[in-house]
Amino acid sequence: MNQSTEISENSVQPRYLNTPVGQLRVWCGGDGPSLVVLPGLVMSAKVTALQMEEQFPGWHITVVELPGIGGSGNIPVRDIPGVAAAIYSSLGLLGIVRPVLLGFDLSAAIAIELSSLFSKGSELLLVDLDKAKHWIHGDQRLPSLKLCDDGTHLVALCAHFRNCLMLDSGRPTHIDPVGPSLPTDAELDTAVLDAAVNLAAYSKLWRVCSKGLEHALRTYVEKFRAFHLPSLTSLKPRLDSLKEGRSLFHPRKTTEIETPRLRKDYLQTPSGRVHLRRIGHGPKTLLVFHSAPGSAEPLELLMRRLAKGRTVIACDYLGNGDSDKAVGHVDIHSMAKNAIEVADALGLDKVDLFGTHTGALVALEFAIQKPHRVGRIILEAPVLLDQSFTDDILKNYLPPILPDRWGTHLLRAWNMRRDMFLFWPWYRQSRDAARSLGLPDLQTLHSWTVGLLKSGHTYHLTYGAAFSYDTRSKLPLLRCPALICAGPADMLVEGLAIARQIAPVGTKVQATPATVWYPGQPSTAINAAIAIYDAFLKGK
């Protein structure tokens, strides 16, 4: 394994497919006949797609992010037939009917079931079955991934992935002398974080695939002899022989299932590919901007509650969450510029805006740059700090978080996120810096940590932009109807006193019962705060 902070994507593109049981994410690239790949359970779909595109040109490659993992983490994992059926229905949306189907290690159990669903003319290939056999019964079985309050479950997951990818499955105290190159630190980190999105589902998938593969090995002995390839190096000649006579794949324009549930999507903008969440329908659209770092995931409750009678859309900033990494200088001006690009790409001439913390500044700058395109705006806890405090924040708040092969960055991120709930600022470890919020439940802390880790080595760019923005000089330039607010447990609530002094005449500045995306807030306070937001957006 070698150090790397980035993964080059070439032409590989992610896409969500909407199925009756949830959204499934696939990674597609290349041109030629259709090759559908089920990655192994210790490597990410994204990295697998990049490797397959590079090593096997002349194929249209579709790598499936398995149910229970990453962007497919909301699809329930019950049994092999159910998982295969979800994948099959998704591939049908793309127009894939007779692919060459390739399964790695434990995913072979799914690949076998999936191949039986396709019509005559599809082909099945399986790689690394011997490894999978040892993983089921040997020393490399999946460890317990029960959430731990010290974050060591993440380190255990990382160590498990590294051992499976590095060690000889037959002699687990030795390095495997053959096989593909070991993953870079960034590739290993990507695989770990995809599995960490839903640890319970990933653990269930591992158990289901292990049981399914054991059954298949007993039942389909002759089939395995025909389909099994001993290693990835033997795959190219087999694929070359299968390519002859196979027609080129032409993606179908899909008619996807409409659903009232929150949906994820990707949107290409001039500045990069942006990851979106959207829900609701209505004549007006509300754009929602999240706090940095992480993603818009903590705002999903707010989005659902405000989606009655309107469309609500939230994007991960470039450099955060599942959006592309940021390129060049990042500040609130460039983040607002990209937000405007999102509105342009969506064909939105006029929108309402909601932003919290960093997002409040993005919304503010959006409204300043394009005042004629903004109806009403809610600024929740905009950053209004003394300059000396800001200088201290910029010096100490944003340490680098770079992936390493031993998973030490996972513990740093966990404890940094944990201390954000205990102290303000998090690095000021003293009783007089204690917050009233308290620690959240372990699942929330885990999800917030994974969100931070997904942003990786670029997390600090958007975070730092918030503390570098001159909110005091910008806020008086606001010209649309505005509500400035914050909940009582918000570490930025004291900024409301400054906002009252400098906000334009007619701006509402008030304390709200809760910062609704904070964990552990009373439901009555959350309901009351959302009612305030909804009434303001309706002009009441």
417/459 Cα distance (integer angstroms): 13
Angle at the Cα of 453 (from 452 to 459), degrees rounded to 5? 60
Q: For strand 482-486 and strand 508-511, is the pairing parallel, antiparallel, or unpaired?
A: parallel
100/177 Cα distance (integer angstroms): 29
340's CB contacts (< 8 A; 6+ apart) are 366, 369, 370, 373
Percentage, residues of the chain above pLDDT 70: 95
Do 73 and 24 reside in the same domain of the chain? yes
- Give 186 or 248, the one with higher predicted confidence: 186
Asked which of 8-22, 74-88, 206-220, 508-522 is least confident by mean pLDDT, the reply is 8-22
Do 411 and 508 reside in the same domain of the chain? yes
Instruction: Tell me what percent of the chain is helix, strand and coil, each rounded to the nearest 5.
Output: 45, 15, 40
Q: Is residue 488 reached through a cis peptide bond, with omega within 30 degrees of 0 on the bond before it?
A: no
What pLDDT, on a 0 to 100 scale, did the predictor assign at position 5? 55
Q: DSSP secondary structure string, 370-427?
A: -GGGEEEEEEES-----HHHHHHHHHHS-------TT-HHHHHHHHHHHHHHHBSSTT
Tell me: pLDDT of 38 over 80.
yes
Do 131 and 230 reside in the same domain of the chain? yes
For residue 336, the SS3 value is: helix
In a domain, 256, yes or no: no
Do 175 and 280 reside in the same domain of the chain? no
283/350 Cα distance (integer angstroms): 11
In a domain, 96, yes or no: yes
494/290 Cα distance (integer angstroms): 20
- pLDDT one-digit tens code per residue, 411-464: 999 999 999 999 999 999 999 999 988 999 999 999 999 999 999 889 999 999
Do 223 and 341 reside in the same domain of the chain? no
What pLDDT, on a 0 to 100 scale, did the predictor assign at position 287? 98
255/302 Cα distance (integer angstroms): 28
Do 531 and 387 reside in the same domain of the chain? yes
Element (H, E) at 113: helix 108-115
In angstroms, the Cα distances linking 45 to 16, 64, 331, 409 are 13, 6, 31, 22
In a domain, 326, yes or no: yes
Percentage, residues of the chain above pLDDT 90: 79
In a domain, 248, yes or no: no
Tell me: pLDDT of 259 over 70.
no
What pLDDT, on a 0 to 100 scale, did the predictor assign at position 217? 80
Count structural domains, the chain.
Answer: 2
- pLDDT one-digit tens code per residue, 97-134: 899 999 999 999 999 999 999 977 789 999 988 889 88
Do 238 and 269 reside in the same domain of the chain? no
Closest Cα partner for 308 from 291, 329, 284? Answer: 284
Do 225 and 329 reside in the same domain of the chain? no
Tell me: pLDDT of 215 over 90.
no
| Domain final residue pick, 189, 210, 243 | 243
Task: Write down the mean pLDDT value for the chain.
Answer: 92
In a domain, 405, yes or no: yes
Do 171 and 281 reside in the same domain of the chain? no
- Domain containing 215 — which CATH number? 3.40.50.1820
Closest Cα partner for 43 from 165, 169, 208, 145? Answer: 165
In a domain, 180, yes or no: yes
| Domain final residue pick, 243, 275, 295 | 243
- pLDDT one-digit tens code per residue, 145-172: 999 999 999 999 999 999 999 998 888 8
In a domain, 2, yes or no: no
Q: DSSP secondary structure string, 125-166?
A: EEE-HHHHHHHHHSTTSPPP----TTSHHHHHHHHHHHHHHH
Element (H, E) at 214: helix 199-219
Do 121 and 187 reside in the same domain of the chain? yes
Distance of CA 130 to the CA centre of its chain: 32
What pLDDT, on a 0 to 100 scale, did the predictor assign at position 247? 83
523: β partners:
none
Do 168 and 283 reside in the same domain of the chain? no
- pLDDT one-digit tens code per residue, 11-30: 899 999 998 889 999 999 99
What pLDDT, on a 0 to 100 scale, did the predictor assign at position 245? 79
Closest Cα partner for 371 from 477, 483, 291? Answer: 477
Decide: 485 and 509 in contact? Cβ < 8 Å: yes
In a domain, 6, yes or no: no
What pLDDT, on a 0 to 100 scale, did the predictor assign at position 9? 61
Tell me: pLDDT of 253 over 70.
no
507/498 Cα distance (integer angstroms): 13
- pLDDT one-digit tens code per residue, 450-479: 999 999 889 999 999 999 999 999 999 999
Domain that holds residue 297: 263-537
- pLDDT one-digit tens code per residue, 277-335: 999 999 999 999 999 989 999 999 999 999 999 999 999 999 999 999 988 899 999 99
Tell me: pLDDT of 260 over 80.
no
Do 404 and 485 reside in the same domain of the chain? yes
Tell me: pLDDT of 251 over 80.
no
221-248 per-residue burial string, b: 16 or more CB within 10 A, e: under 16:
eeeeeebbbeebeebeeebeeeeeebee
Tell me: pLDDT of 48 over 60.
yes
